[in-house]
Chain A
Amino acid sequence: SQQGEEDPQALSIQEGENATMNCSYKTSINNLQWYRQNSGRGLVHLILIRSNEREKHSGRLRVTLDTSKKSSSLLITASRAADTASYFCLWGAQKLVFGQGTRLTINP
């Protein structure tokens, strides 16, 4: 299967703590994207990092990319209850593949 892996599959932390999720991919990429999904319906785009970038920030989000290890991480700082959702990475070049996702729960 070409599908990569995300870990952990589930993460539960206290509000205010930082959450880190990892994505491993299998082929070359043009870019890697992170999405959030609430309540099992539509996905919301969070951030896109290009293959020639190593780190990118957007608000409380920080994404890193290590093309030598074919991995990316998403860090959410100062987590809030509203961050509770599933997070997916999307990667590829000609063909795009979603990771299996990390289910994040923020406990108040």
Chain B
Amino acid sequence: GAGVSQSPSNKVTEKGKDVELRCDPISGHTALYWYRQSLGQGLEFLIYFQGNSAPDKSGLPSDRFSAERTGGSVSTLTIQRTQQEDSAVYLCASSLGPGDTQYFGPGTRLTVL
């Protein structure tokens, strides 16, 4: 079956612009995660959605970052007024339920000039 997909695969933007990154999880997966990975670094947790519960936003680095998940499926991560330090690969994952195996998308490489 189809895995997790993300779009775009690459995004180059200018400092100060807003960007939207999209994640399509595996159908039927109730949990969805966003992570960020800077060059050569580990994965930094950003936000977690579980079913209809309020999302865990504890990993969002600033109020310029927000995410939503519509209809319990597709999720969009929005970064407003991008900064150069936002440059990273943004990874999305979904799992059947909390704590289950996470299946990752290929990521979106964001470059802020």
A interface vs B, CB < 8 Å? 3, 30-31, 33, 35, 40-45, 48, 88, 90, 92-101
B66 within 8 A of A: no
Most chain A beta-carbon neighbours within 10 Å: one of B91, B102, B106:
B102
Closest residue of B by beta carbon distance from A31: B99
Secondary structure at the B interface, as helix, strand, loop or mixed, is loop
Nearest chain-A residue to B107 (Cβ)? A41
A100-B42 in contact given A41-B107, A42-B106, A95-B56 (Cβ < 8 Å): yes
Q: List 5 A-B contacts (CB under 8 A).
A: A42-B105, A42-B107, A43-B104, A95-B56, A99-B42
Fill in one digit per residue for B81-103: 1 if any A CB lies within 8 Å of its CB, else 0. 00000000101010000110111
Closest CB in chain A relative to B79 CB, distance in Å? 19
User: Interface range on chain B: under 10, 10 to 19, 20 to 34, or 35 or more?
Assistant: 20 to 34
In-complex Cβ contact of B37 among A40, A45, A99 (8 A): A40
Q: What distance in Å separates the Cβ of A2 from its nearest Cβ neighbour in chain B?
A: 10
Cβ B106 vs Cβ A101 within 8 A = no
List of A residues within 8 angstroms of B99 by Cβ: 30-31, 92-93, 96
Residues of B within 8 A of A45 (CB): 101-103
Which residues of chain A come closer than 8 Å to B40, judged between CB atoms? 40
**A33 near B89 (CB under 8 angstroms)?**
no
Report whether B45 and A96 are in contact in the complex, using a CB–CB cutoff of 8 Å: yes
> Taking each of A3, A42, A92, A95, which has the highest tally of chain B beta carbons within 10 Å of its own beta carbon?
A42
Q: Does B43 contact A (CB under 8 A)?
A: yes
B56 and A98 form a contact (CB under 8 A): no
B34 — which chain A residues lie within 8 A by C-beta?
none
B49 on interface, CB distance cutoff 8 Å: no
In the complex, residue of chain A having the shortest beta-carbon distance to the beta carbon of B6: A42
A41-B106, A43-B91 known; A48-B101 Cβ under 8 A: yes
Chain A residues near B93 (CB, 8 Å)? Answer: 43
> Would B42 and A44 count as touching, CB distance under 8 A?
no
B65 within 8 A of A: no
